[in-house]
Amino acid sequence: MYTVEHEFDATVITLVDEGHMALQEDVALTAFEDCVTVEQLDPQTDRVQKITLSLQQVQDLVASLNSEEGVYTTARRK
């Protein structure tokens, strides 16, 4: 399951892990004008872990989801 919320300066997507196996904490992706952040609570430290991706890194990630093993380059955004 996931949710999409549009805020003043960003779009927030939350991924909720559903199922019968051991579940992971929710993942929040926040898309800003110039970057995307990914946040998830680390239950061992009770702290939120955060990474920031450039828009090019997000584009590369999306392209990689349907790629075979190998090394690729993508067209750069201007």
Task: Return the biggest CA–CA distance within the chain.
Answer: 44
26: tokens are 């929710």
What per-residue confidence (pLDDT) applies to 78? 61
Minimal CA–CA distance to 23: which of 32, 15, 12, 11? 15
Predicted confidence at residue 77, as pLDDT, reads 61
* Per-residue pLDDT tens over the stretch 19-74: 888 789 999 999 999 999 999 999 999 999 999 999 999 999 998 888 888 898 87
Q: What is the pLDDT of residue 49?
A: 98
> What are the residue ranges spanned by the domains of the chain?
2-64
Whether residue 25 contacts residue 2, with contact meaning beta carbons closer than 8 Å, is answered with: no
pLDDT at 46: 97
CA 78 to CA 45: how far, in whole Å? Answer: 40
Partners of 26 in beta bridges: none
Whether the predicted pLDDT of 12 surpasses 70: yes
